[in-house]
A = this chain, B = another copy of it.
């Protein structure tokens, strides 16, 4: 494929643009904090009130042990009223706020860095590029708050975000982007979703926006919508922006991020730490990114 990062960090690379986040970049990122306020960029994981695709199933929390299980604790000498609560979770790797592993999308039968699509098997999942490779990172996060810049509550459903819009927002905010940064794009879609009136179309990045990512050597892209890119897809190309960013460039993607609190505080620059579940073989993970303002 053309215009790619395949081979850029060697034939065995499974981290993609996370390679751009050097220790020096991380150390520099720790210096951008101004308030010490901690932001959680995850929506709650629950069955209602959050965006869920039917085919993924609504997440389930089921009770495993509780205060009804005295007979479990008694053999340990526990008096009545003493015990522990535990749960079992059943949830899609890509449910609600989540990260895409580099094995998430394949095109022309290939995943990032020329790994074959057949390397994701039923029993083992991704034998290369699984989420364990990219689940753990930190760096400088930059929020581009498009609705605020454009003077709207949220971008229109289906609105295609192009390079010019990103540049204008960046300039208006007076924030610069550096190599290895984590770019978070607020479309306002989650606020629209919260009204209960949203449907299938969503605003998001178009293919033209990819060059913005290239120009700044961005390591990670996140957004508050379902798929980073606009839906319906730009030019009706199925997963077109995923192909450009994830498959060709190895850019880790973060979706359904809760960005409203950062936006409300006007916090556009922050340290961001992401610790996804290191599930061997998985093509993604629910996440709770932590930003420090």
Contact = CB atoms under 8 A, between A and B. Distances in A.
A55 interface: yes
A259 interface: no
A283 B42 contact: no
Nearest to A39: B136
Nearest to A286: B277
Q: Which of A34, A66, A85, A281 has the most CB of B within 10 A?
A: A85
Interface residues of A, number: 111
Interface stretch (A44-52, A147-155, A210-218): A44-52
A57 B88 contact: yes
A92 B88 contact: yes
B72 A118 contact: no
Given A88-B93, A118-B68, A277 B45 contact: yes
A138 B91 CA distance: 25
Nearest to A25: B36
A137 B62 contact: no
Interface in A58-113: 58-69, 71-73, 76-94, 103-110
A35 interface: yes
Contact of A273 (B21, B68, B239, B292): B292
21 contacts: A26-B36, A27-B36, A29-B36, A38-B138, A40-B278, A47-B54, A47-B55, A63-B121, A63-B125, A71-B124, A82-B108, A82-B239, A83-B117, A85-B126, A87-B125, A89-B277, A122-B122, A136-B288, A273-B273, A274-B290, A290-B290
Contacts of A280: 44-46, 61
Contacts of A93: 61, 64, 86-89
